[in-house]
Amino acid sequence: MADIELSEEQGMLANSAGDFLQKHSSFEAVRQRLASDSGHDAAMWKEMAALGWLGVALPEQHGGADMPVGALVSLAEPMGRHLFASPFLATTLAGRMLAVGGSEAQQARWLPGIASGETIATVALTEPDGSWELGAPQLRAERRGGGYALRGSKTFVLDAAVADLVLISAELEGVPAVFAVERAALPDGALRREVLIDEARRGYRLDVDDFEVGADSRLDGDAPAALDHAYRLGALLVAAEMVGGTEGVMDLTLEYLRTRVQFGRLIGSYQALKHPMVDIMVVQEQARSLLHHAATIFERDAGLAEVALRMAKAMAGDCYTHAADRAIQFHGGTGFTYECHAQLFFRRAQFCEYSFGDSRHHRRRLEPLLLEEGCVWESAHRLVPGGLPGG
Amino acid sequence: MSEATPARPSPEELDAFRTEVRAWLKDNKPEPPDFQLPDSFMEVGTPEQFEYLRAWQHKVYEAGYIGLTWPKEYGGGGLHGLYQGVVNREMGAANVPFMVNIIGLMWAGPVILQLGTHAQKQRYIQKILSAEEIWCQGFSEPGNGSDLGNAQTTAVRDGDEWVLNGTKIWTSLGTEAKHMILLARTDPGAPSKYKGLTFFLAPVDIPGVHKTPIQKMTGEYGFNETRFEDARIPGDSILGREGEGWSVAMATLMFERGAAEGQAGGLSMVPLRVDDVVQLARECKRDGRPAIEDPEVRAELVRFVMEERALGLCQVRQRIPGLVTERPHAIMMMNKLVGTEFRRRLARFAISLQGANGVLYMGDPDAPDGGHWQRNYMNAFSATIGGGTSQIQKNILGERVLGLAKSY
Ligand SMILES: Cc1cc2nc3c(=O)[nH]c(=O)nc-3n(C[C@H](O)[C@H](O)[C@H](O)COP(=O)(O)OP(=O)(O)OC[C@H]3O[C@@H](n4cnc5c(N)ncnc54)[C@H](O)[C@@H]3O)c2cc1C
């Protein structure tokens, strides 16, 4: 099997996303939406649902299209490019967590609504200590009556205000558990909107104290697997958003370099600007290759998929944050204004970098995976006779 | 190349071919010589190095493992490119020596196949593959390197011949070469400097051609100054048309930089792999501890592994049209820049793993890996400078791929 594949279906998905976002996510539209309270556009959400985007990687028997999880990258990449913000990421993560860790009955209850766009869902996984490891939640759950009581805090619960369903991770008797809770059931005041550097996004802090939930709200399947899936899928989709975002911010900057004149010349002719743009492009090409490789093998070979994913998130993060940083500088005084679109990318890049593990986090975790004697990487790429990677 | 596109082999056919190649390499890999081999064709500095490498290329040619995609009628294999890809990878894995006639195989040959007459192809191609005739390149001059379009060597028509005068420099394989791809000025009065140039396939083993070896920073030899003093070459030595040398030179550079396909294949230099550097980090000590335990070393190694992997994957993605719509040629165009700079940085890093012993050089019995990395670091500059410097590559990428205004 090839290291990078793009199915016809996936190509079509990418094209339709490109067209749709071109139309619905112009800079003006992005700015309008970010100034609104919920940041959400219900009419557009319906259109996204009609295009089938919300069930791409959900099981067919629950209304999904059952495509490979990696196909989601074909949507997330153009979303990043067009600075699109919607409950897509939150809903997709919740849907996939249910698909991995929910019982048949729980899937049947929630997934059809998610796939059809009826149900907006989100995940409450990170906590105030800021750790990216999702496998050891500290929010406490204890058995109470026939059900459970939850106590603790979560951060960055995306789009919680418009969500119908929230998946909350917790520690229950020493092991991780996940609870699927209707947002309407949350106590008053449980959600506080956070002030995020990316103004197009909506994040909420969740505080609960003795919040009682029913027995059937606990996911019956493998909770650690669901949490691991969320960690990996989150990193994959954010990496895709970053690769797309880099493309968008490169476009914006290059356009300026092609039109702005100083000292009687187009500023793009100055190598102090031109060469750094080439450096960015060169890393972007690499990041994009890693991304599509990670997407291709996401469900294939656990050990190598983890390596590919961490490489993709790390390189995409380095590249986007740097490209956005240079975008400000290369626009001069204009770049420092709120009006210049460079800041939209800049803020998005910062947000993405610190979501689902920053570049340093992933590179750190790559060390044992790549450097230990006898590691999976070594047997796959070093010791195969004649098997240089990339063929 | 006018022949019909050769059939794409099935995976089974390729597997069978791979098995055959692997077996052949196992049986025919040459014994390492008792002298030091060069890192690339640009460092071939002694007759014994040259003869060893030429014999190896000849053997590979006789086995039919280079020029697999080149037309049969000129001595090639007439096969699909996937076959050559298999050979190249197997050669890399088997750590066999590189091909010596690289200028002929990788850019002079391809450009002759692209633009030459039938007679020229018949005359030159097969002998490039067999290494019977070595090629060199006469582009750079003492005063005109990056500014290649300003070349001042002149060619003046005299009856049936052209008469050459001027100086070319940094001529790799200049001592061994029989032919040179040569850029010379045929019309000094042309309206622009680019228009007065013509591209020649010139013999250089003739009277009036003076070759002076130049010593490299490593202490080795491998390139020359080539002076032409009324050297007379045949009237039909032009590739392409008179006055259109610039565009032929640009086509040549596309092959040289790996930005166009059509090379004969085979290894072009000793491969430098991050694996080997990881291994070195396990073996070397810094401050008394294995280098691989140093947190900074580990962090850097991870970056190198990532980059090597990403560059390999770029070659895969490059072939998927739906994933290169933004900049269809970017990856091909950047190969030269990223490949050569990566090699330079990796070699430099490898020395840093050796701690205090990093200062030992080739020839010292205690030098880690025989001083190989130290020499390798120096030689890495041959590729970041030769073939158009990295700075020039960035200009080209910025202008042709990113659409920015020209720099001068
Ligand atoms: C090992 C080796 C083998 C070679 N073999 C051959 C050969 O076989 N045949 C042959 O013809 N040539 C050969 N060359 C020559 C090589 O192509 C030239 O050295 C190269 O093109 C640079 O030209 P130059 O040396 O004149 O440097 P210059 O052009 O003088 O450059 C000096 C510095 O200025 C920078 N610079 C120049 N112009 C610009 C610009 N516009 N923008 C930004 N920076 C700029 C360069 O990057 C470089 O850093 C070889 C070189 C080496 C090192």
Q: Report chain A's mean pLDDT, rounded to a whole number.
A: 95
pLDDT of residue A380: 80
CB contact under 8 A, A367 and B302: yes
Compute the average pLDDT of residues A190-195.
98
Of 1.20.140.10, 3.90.1640.10, 1.20.120.350, 3.40.50.1820, which CATH number belongs to B274-401? 1.20.140.10
Q: How confident is the model at residue A387 (pLDDT cuts 50, 70, 90)?
A: very low
Pocket flag, ligand 1, residue B41 (CB < 6 Å) = no
**Ligand 1 center–CA B140 separation, angstroms:** 8
Give the one of B313, B323, B402 whose C-beta lies nearest to A278's C-beta: B402
pLDDT of residue B250: 97
Compute the average pLDDT of residues A98-114.
97
Taking the Cβ of residue A247 and every Cβ of chain B, the question of whether any pair is shorter than 8 Å is answered with yes
Compute the average pLDDT of residues B12-22.
96
Beta-bridged to residue A265, according to DSSP, are: A262
ipTM over 0.90: yes
Q: Which long-range contacts (CB under 8 A, 24 or more apart) does A57-63 make?
A: A57/A92, A57/A95, A57/A96, A57/A99, A58/A95, A58/A96, A58/A99, A58/A111, A58/A114, A58/A115, A59/A99, A59/A107, A59/A111, A62/A107, A62/A108, A62/A111, A62/A112, A62/A115, A63/A111, A63/A112, A63/A115, A63/A116
Residue by residue, DSSP assigns B123-171 as HHHHHHHTTSS-EEEE--BTTBSS-GGG---EEEEETTEEEEEEEEEEE
Compute the average pLDDT of residues B344-371.
95
pLDDT of residue A391: 27
The percent of residues in chain A predicted with pLDDT above 70, rounded, is 97
Q: How confident is the model at residue A302 (pLDDT cuts 50, 70, 90)?
A: confident
CB contact under 8 A, A315 and B327: no
CA distances from B23 to A298, B29, B90 (A): 35, 10, 10
pLDDT of residue A382: 61
Minimum distance, in Å, between the CA of residue A133 and any CA atom of chain B: 20
Whole-angstrom Cα Rg for chain B = 22
Taking the Cβ of residue B337 and every Cβ of chain A, the question of whether any pair is shorter than 8 Å is answered with yes
Query: Is B3 one of the catalytic residues?
Result: no
pLDDT higher than 80, residue B355? yes
A8-120 fold: Butyryl-Coa Dehydrogenase, subunit A; domain 1 (1.10.540)
Pocket flag, ligand 1, residue B391 (CB < 6 Å) = yes
Distance in angstroms (rounded) separating the CA atoms of residues A219 and B79? 57
CB contact under 8 A, B403 and A258: yes
A224-383 fold: Butyryl-CoA Dehydrogenase, subunit A; domain 3 (1.20.140)
Which residues of B fall within a CB distance of 8 Å from A2?
A: 316
Residue A289 one-letter amino acid: S
> What is chain B's length?
408
Parse chain B into domains and list their residue ranges.
Answer: 11-133, 136-243, 274-401
Non-local CB neighbours of A216 within 8 Å, separated by 6+ positions? A105, A106
Ramachandran angles phi, psi of B172, nearest 5°: -65, 145
Parse chain A into domains and list their residue ranges.
Answer: 8-120, 123-221, 224-383
Which residues of A fall within a CB distance of 8 Å from B92?
A: 388
Distance in angstroms (rounded) separating the CA atoms of residues B202 and A325? 51
Give the one of A254, A292, A387 whose C-beta lies nearest to B403's C-beta: A254
Architecture per CATH, A123-221: Beta Barrel (2.40)
Sign, Cα dihedral of B111, B114, B119, B122: positive
Q: How confident is the model at residue A376 (pLDDT cuts 50, 70, 90)?
A: confident
- B76-92: pLDDT as tens digits: 999 999 999 999 999 99
pLDDT higher than 80, residue B346? yes
Sign, Cα dihedral of B155, B158, B159, B161: negative
Pocket flag, ligand 1, residue B386 (CB < 6 Å) = yes
Say if residues B194 and B149 touch (Cβ distance below 8 Å).
yes
Architecture per CATH, B136-243: Beta Barrel (2.40)
- A141-169: pLDDT as tens digits: 999 999 999 999 999 999 999 999 999 99
- B221-267: pLDDT as tens digits: 999 999 999 999 999 999 999 999 999 999 999 999 988 999 999 98
**Ligand 1 center–CA B378 separation, angstroms:** 16
Burial A180-189 (b: 16+ CB within 10 A, else e): bbebeebeee
Minimum distance, in Å, between the CA of residue B390 and any CA atom of chain A: 10
- A199-220: pLDDT as tens digits: 999 999 999 999 999 999 999 9
- B55-114: pLDDT as tens digits: 999 999 999 999 999 999 999 999 999 999 999 999 998 999 999 999 999 999 999 999
Q: How confident is the model at residue A389 (pLDDT cuts 50, 70, 90)?
A: very low
Q: Answer whether A8-120 and A123-221 agree in fold.
A: no
Compute the average pLDDT of residues A309-314.
98
Say if residues A245 and A81 touch (Cβ distance below 8 Å).
yes
Distance in angstroms (rounded) separating the CA atoms of residues A391 and A389? 6
Q: What is the CATH number of domain B11-133?
A: 1.10.540.10
What is the reported pTM?
0.95
